[in-house]
Amino acid sequence: MEDAVEMTRPSPQHPSDGPDDDQQRELVLQAAAERLRVERDEARARLESMTGDLESLFAASAGSNADDEHDPEGQTIAYERAQVSALMQGAQERLASIEAAAIRLQQGTYGICEVCREPIPAVRLEARPTAQTCVQHVPPARG
């Protein structure tokens, strides 16, 4: 991912030059690389925190004789473990989508719709920096 940031750094420009389309795109890509880096760091921190929470839940229940099915406390512990596990899966998926966006940035395909190959509008990328498609080609929501 750090390589993606290096690749998107704008080249020095002559003071009399105005920003052209290529320079503007470079600035957008640089901002995207920084945002992806921040989001990646946040996702990793969340995942690390949840991993600690899950380990604490396992440690708290390791010494007990709690029977998840018959002990009222056991059901609560099982629920908490399942909840943290589901949240961790979501965080892992988020991290994977951020890393995939960083790879697209490196490869020069970031911000290009994977369906129609047209540029994804900047406002969509600002709202969802991991977007792979334009709004027109968003896949239907999973049910």
Selection from 4, 38, 3 nearest residue 110 by Cα: 4
CB neighbours of 132 closer than 8 A, spacing ≥ 6? Answer: 100, 101, 104, 113, 114
Q: Tell me: the pLDDT tens digits for 100-120?
A: 999 999 999 999 999 999 999
Contact 123, 116 (CB under 8 A): no
Q: Tell me: the pLDDT tens digits for 37-54?
A: 999 999 999 999 998 888
Q: What is the mean pLDDT of the chain?
A: 79
Cβ atoms within 10 A of the Cβ of 71, count? 14
d(CA 131, CA 101): 8
Please give the span between the terminal C-alpha atoms of the chain, in angstroms, as a whole number: 32
Written as tens digits, the pLDDT of the chain (143 aa) is: 444 444 433 333 444 445 577 787 788 888 889 999 999 999 999 999 998 888 887 776 666 655 555 555 556 777 888 888 899 999 999 999 999 999 999 999 999 999 999 999 988 988 899 999 999 999 888 76
Looking at the DSSP assignment, which residues form a beta bridge with residue 112? 119
Cβ atoms within 10 A of the Cβ of 93, count? 11
Selection from 140, 141, 109, 142 nearest residue 125 by Cα: 109
Per-domain residue ranges of the chain: 20-109
Contact 131, 120 (CB under 8 A): yes
pLDDT of residue 78: 77
